[in-house]
Amino acid sequence: MAKPLEGQLALVTGASRGIGAATAIALGAAGAHVVLTARTAKDLEGVEETIFDAGGSATIAPLDLTQTDSIARLATAVGERWQALDVLVLNAGMLGSLAAVPAIDPKELAQVLTLNVSAQVAMIQAFDPMLRKAKSAKVIGVTSSVGRNPRAYWGAYGASKAAFETLLEAYGDETSEISAIRTAVLDPGATRTRMRARAYPGEAPESVKPPEVVAERIVALAIAGFAAGHRERVR
């Protein structure tokens, strides 16, 4: 079978379950060597085994993205083994508690912003040199509709996604004319994930699409490429 990403390196954050795991498996099936990051080593090992069983290859890197030094160490380790990074999927994120703005817990808000914003910037900064060495680098950020369309009780999470989108798109604007880096913002829409179950506890899981549908779209973008500043919502 044809493997269009053969010889390419991809890195997926939040790869232990949900959209991240499905995307990592799909990238591996397309021929990429996938670096899997998340906090839980056991869950990453399960995803890695699935990729191996399908004939792909992967490397797990358990880490906490909120610890900035761990991102720098990861970039150093990856850079020592590979020269360029072809695909970076920024999927890791934290929902936090859904609350009215006056009731937002400042400490929890700081945690949400650390993972959803600061850690994403740290990832871009750490891997920018490897992205610039790729023939055609794609950085795909997973967002949410509440980043563009504020909704009651979703203020903290929505604000974090709005900031993430702005920073990722600014990076894309900065690099599109001087490198082969292209950035995309992808809203997965209603998807069967643990985060979705927390936000909508009464929803029947089978009523929304599985994460594999989103993963297929991310891999399609990684294969075909996209114009600078691309953004879309998966239906």
What are the beta bridge partners of residue 230? Answer: 184
As annotated, the active-site residues are: 157
* Residue of 86, 36, 26 lying closest to 211 (CA atoms): 26
CA 38 to chain centre: 11
- Write the burial class of residue 108 (CB in 10 Å: 0-12 exposed, 13-18 middle, 19+ buried): middle
Q: At what angle do helices 68-81 and 119-132 cross, to 10 degrees?
A: 20
Backbone angles phi, psi at 167, to 5 degrees: -70, -40
Per-residue DSSP letters for 85-124? --EEEE----------GGG--HHHHHHHHIIIIIHHHHHH
Contact criterion met (CB below 8 Å) for 43 and 17: yes
